[in-house]
Copies of this chain bind each other. A is one copy, B any other.
């Protein structure tokens, strides 16, 4: 039996079942970040992401963008929990015959983004590898009342996204801005019930919220912001790596968000009872169940 027979999510489930924690762990694997006790007022957040040449990028890509993305995806995870990224470790595997120019570029990409978001690159590991391999782990902090998980969506919540979706493979997936500042605005000013960053595609990531929250949802075709680069609606629904925030808030909070930030945060639908499933309402007000597909590793 091969891992592709049970799939990425099957393997994750298999691991989660075996893991035990002590009482300091508030949230283990399965959300955008792990959450652990830190101080009276704050939790620590942990997340990591691995990027591998040939899977996540090719040699044709500007090395600075490779480095930038390796850190950006983890910053996006910290943002999705309402936190502030603080410290990062970088493991870098390089083929022996890598040019110094490529190594320098990757490092510059990481350091420039770190500086932009005031993240301290405190350490790492250099290793020989056949393919360029990066793994960045980030530690963040979040004020306890501002922690947002995938699991808190409630019936009647309005669903928002922080920007246009689709077509990210044309470039945005490499130079997107992690929505750290947007998340900070949101958790400082509003009470969010659930949040995730869109890395697997809108439908798949919304489904992660729905599964974690035992909820259903309806989204409206006419409300989904489609990026200029997207090939159409399906691209906006299913292509991964948009790295926008997808979040829900009660209708009362939603009104405040929409009133204060009508441009920045787009309402796209509503949380429904679980048995409703996930449906798309088209421009003719005709609903249909959305098939669950999106990026999976194996």
Which residue numbers of A lie inside 8 Å of B, CB to CB?
Answer: 1-6, 8, 11-12, 14-15, 18-22, 24-25, 28-29, 33-34, 36, 39, 44, 46-52, 54-56, 86-87, 89-94, 96-101, 103-104, 107-108, 111, 115, 118, 120-131, 133, 135, 137, 139, 297-298
> Given A34-B122, A46-B122, A89-B34, A98–B137 Cβ distance below 8 Å?
no
B residues within 8 A CB of A22?
118, 120
How far is A92 from B50 in the complex, measured between Cα atoms in Å? 8
State the 10 A-B residue pairs at the shortest beta-carbon distance, nearest first.
A34-B122, A135-B135, A137-B137, A34-B123, A50-B91, A48-B89, A128-B297, A1-B100, A91-B135, A50-B127
B residues within 8 A CB of A11?
103, 126
How far is A297 from B91 in the complex, measured between Cα atoms in Å? 13
**A208 nearest CB across to chain B (Å):** 15
**A67 nearest CB across to chain B (Å):** 11
> Given A25-B122, A99-B2, A137-B137, A36–B87 Cβ distance below 8 Å?
yes
How far is A118 from B20 in the complex, measured between Cα atoms in Å? 10
B residues within 8 A CB of A4?
96-97
**A80 nearest CB across to chain B (Å):** 13
Report yes or no: A46 in contact with B100, Cβ–Cβ below 8 A: no
B residues within 8 A CB of A47?
89, 123
Report yes or no: A120 in contact with B25, Cβ–Cβ below 8 A: yes
Closest to A39 in B: B39
**A214 nearest CB across to chain B (Å):** 22
How far is A4 from B15 in the complex, measured between Cα atoms in Å? 38
How far is A107 from B25 in the complex, measured between Cα atoms in Å? 20
**A112 nearest CB across to chain B (Å):** 10
Assuming A18-B108, A47-B89, A47-B123, what are 5 further A-B pairs, CB within 8 angstroms? A5-B100, A24-B120, A129-B131, A137-B137, A139-B139
How far is A283 from B21 in the complex, measured between Cα atoms in Å? 51
B residues within 8 A CB of A3?
94, 96, 98-100, 103
Report yes or no: B46 in contact with A123, Cβ–Cβ below 8 A: yes
List 21 A–B pairs whose Cβ atoms lie within 8 Å, in order of A's numbering: A2-B97, A3-B94, A3-B99, A4-B96, A4-B97, A18-B107, A22-B120, A24-B120, A28-B120, A33-B123, A34-B123, A36-B120, A47-B123, A48-B124, A50-B125, A52-B127, A52-B128, A52-B133, A54-B130, A94-B298, A127-B297
